[in-house]
Chain A
């Protein structure tokens, strides 16, 4: 498959263009919803990478939080507000943490993997919520973001951040897509269903899991850093507490594992439902969220993307019948 034939790359690029154009028409509040969707979508994309091989983490708020707090602490203690540098540091810190913990976590499967992740995320929560130096429960407010030598203010800064986040997320999504097409990235069903067979084919399931875990950690850190810049503030309760991890899993379930674009669409829908519910029905917004999740589990167990697959599947089946060997 060449670059030009890759529908996902086209989809991502069209999405990129559409978002950049939207920048001129949408109101501020919607732009911030879009940016947050990109942030949460990135974390959910990390969960997708894991979930394809049958693992779910109930603690990815850990990497989200590490990414966000790296940005926050750099702003507070080092006075570094450059978006490129802070995001890079947030991603690398989260990736290193995932790499380290990965040596341990790669030995676990099923519910133990999920819960051990939760334990680690709650350790971070405990630290952040208690230590004054780290802002305790109030968190840390960020200084205005700069971009290399460009230091816009007010509305211009918001535009800059949006454009910046959109382009960067596009790049990240493309990289993940390429990763998922690689031999290592394709070791999904193999890990989920049969690590013994994978071993006899010549690769270790644990190493595959470790690689995927690092990828998902990097994505968690990236999402956290973007979210920190967008909100302009980091705090433990809305970024590291266990329900935040629950939200990420929610988005992953809502999206489905079919495609790298799915988590971003899922995250946007999630943000929209949440914002709308919170605005119109403040008493029952959680009820609406919970009801949505239940409905997805019951009626659309493979997420929103399964609708796309179903629609495409019909076309693909026709094509296969006609030519015998159409779809790979």
Chain B
């Protein structure tokens, strides 16, 4: 065995955020390595740095004994270090066949050869064989945007393997694929890669996948590798259990078995049934059932990409609904123009804050009032400032001068301003300092005491579990647990 990739002391930061620190990895030929870690732990950044997509802040990267630091994505790909993508990057308006044909053309031609015909019989045979290896031949003439998500993932990976890479990096090969399909897809994939004798490194959140397919695990936490060990050993590692797997993993399978469409008593503020939503060609939500009873605080818990934000955007009318019903009390929201939701008393706090930069904090908070012409705003504003005295302190500062945490509070206050019947809070504790996150929990606690109807989306419910009357766990676009 010899080393395919050697990374030493790799560093990268974005502003004050350290995305990679002191990364040392040696990948041996023939290995299958799993990269795990929570959202934002630096997994994709690692792939981006090694493949030349991002310039590193320091360190060395050697591929097949050659220094590749600072080379372009193109040059590195040509040397045989290829990757696939978390969101499949196929050419959506071309057929599967043409997608692969392009990949072959670029891989096989150079210089004047680029001016020779792309489609030739021999090459077509190779493309057909490639499609067959990934078991997607029957989708040969289907355009990218019409491919099922799992097939699109396979095509994306198939395109990355056209150069017969020495090392292939896969970014979440099963994300966006339904739970029923994931093993089937992985079996196809791993078999094809074994046939090509490709060394594989893949990022994965799904521990069932990791345990089943991976020899060795790299666990990332806050930009550092906290564990590098054979899979079984890594799963027992204290740090991995604490920082990567978390509480959810232990609850895992049992909870899922207990999942049921239990009907709830009392009046529903928000009633969603059998909701399907797609963004572009990709189906994100699959038959979501979710009810928020009046005066209750509910949690929508799931990791990044599970469909939390999509769910909220669909309720807010920013995405159109393919199937299912969304009702607020007795109003059919699907038939209501998007902007009427604020008038009906729904307040929405987006995860990424989205303040209007030219306005002050208070002006941002008052926007929904101006838009809806609501009354009694003075009293409501005072009530909000009562809940969040810190916001009152910086209410006259411009939105651009506020820190991320402060902006988050303003976005929260803005949602409260018109959210008299229902509040949708998308990851209120995400991306802010622990002290702010803690404060956010206190505010939610106060809000609960006031009897507001709230739906909070979070990637884990560690901090807010005690506040929740009901928890919906969302995975791969479906509610898998409801308790």
Contact = CB atoms under 8 A, between A and B. Distances in A.
A–B touching in complex (CB under 8 Å)? yes
A320 B78 CA distance: 35
B337 interface: no
Interface in A189-204: 189-190, 193-194, 196-204
Contact of B73 (A182, A185, A199, A320): A199
Contacts of A306: none
Contacts of A328: 97, 119, 124
For the complex of A and B, the 5 pairs showing the least CB-CB separation, nearest first, are A183-B105, A184-B114, A197-B89, A201-B106, A199-B73
Given A183-B109, A183-B113, A193-B93, A200 B73 contact: yes
Given A183-B116, A197-B159, A199-B77, A189 B107 contact: no
A198 B106 contact: yes
A204 B117 CA distance: 19
A216 B351 CA distance: 45
Interface in A264-298: none
B74 interface: yes
B116 A182 contact: yes
A201 B115 contact: no
Nearest to A1: B119
A120 interface: no
B118 A203 contact: no
A202 B90 contact: no
Interface string A81-117: 0000000000000000000000000000000000000
A201 B77 contact: yes
A187 interface: yes
B77 A200 contact: yes
Interface in B277-310: none
A312 interface: no
A136 interface: no
Given A186-B105, A189-B91, A200-B51, A325 B140 contact: yes
A194 B88 CA distance: 11
29 contacts: A179-B115, A181-B117, A181-B118, A182-B117, A183-B106, A183-B109, A183-B113, A183-B114, A183-B116, A185-B118, A186-B102, A186-B105, A189-B98, A190-B91, A194-B89, A194-B90, A194-B91, A196-B89, A197-B89, A198-B106, A201-B102, A201-B106, A201-B107, A201-B162, A202-B78, A202-B106, A204-B72, A320-B141, A328-B124
Contacts of A193: 91-93
Nearest to B101: A186
B130 interface: no
A189 B94 contact: yes
A196 B114 CA distance: 19
Interface string B169-191: 00000000000000000000000
B106 A182 contact: no
Interface in A158-199: 178-179, 181-187, 189-190, 193-194, 196-199
B141 A183 contact: no
B78 to A, nearest CB: 5
Contacts of B107: 201-202
Contacts of A1: 117, 119
A182 B118 contact: yes
Nearest to A2: B121
A201 to B, nearest CB: 4
B74 A203 contact: yes
A280 to B, nearest CB: 41
A74 B137 CA distance: 58
B114 A182 contact: yes
Nearest to A199: B73
Contacts of B72: 199, 204
Contacts of B51: 200
B163 interface: yes
A197 B162 CA distance: 13
Counting chain A CB atoms within 10 Å of each CB, the highest count among B72, B82, B89 belongs to: B89
Contact of B118 (A186, A200, A320): A186
Interface residues of B, number: 38
B154 interface: no
Contacts of A186: 102, 105, 118
A184 B91 contact: no
B319 interface: no
Nearest to A179: B115
Interface string B68-92: 0000111001100011010001111
Most buried by B among A190, A202, A204: A202
B20 to A, nearest CB: 20
Given A179-B115, A196-B89, A197-B91, 19 more contacts: A1-B119, A182-B114, A182-B117, A183-B106, A183-B109, A184-B114, A186-B118, A189-B91, A189-B98, A193-B92, A196-B53, A198-B106, A199-B72, A200-B89, A202-B77, A202-B106, A202-B107, A203-B74, A320-B141
Contacts of A187: 102, 106
Contacts of A196: 53, 73, 89
A202 B165 CA distance: 12
A320 B117 CA distance: 23
Query: Among A178, A181, A193, A200, which residue has the most Cβ atoms of chain B within 10 A?
Result: A200
A177 B109 CA distance: 19
Interface in B54-80: 72-74, 77-78
Contacts of B53: 196
B167 interface: no
B321 interface: no
B160 interface: yes
B82 to A, nearest CB: 7
Residue of A185, A196, A201, A203 contacting most chain B CB atoms (<10 Å): A201
A190 B102 contact: yes
B91 A183 contact: no
A204 B140 CA distance: 26
A209 to B, nearest CB: 14
B93 A189 contact: yes
A200 B91 contact: no
A202 B77 CA distance: 6
Nearest to A193: B91
A265 to B, nearest CB: 23
Nearest to B85: A197
A1 B119 CA distance: 8
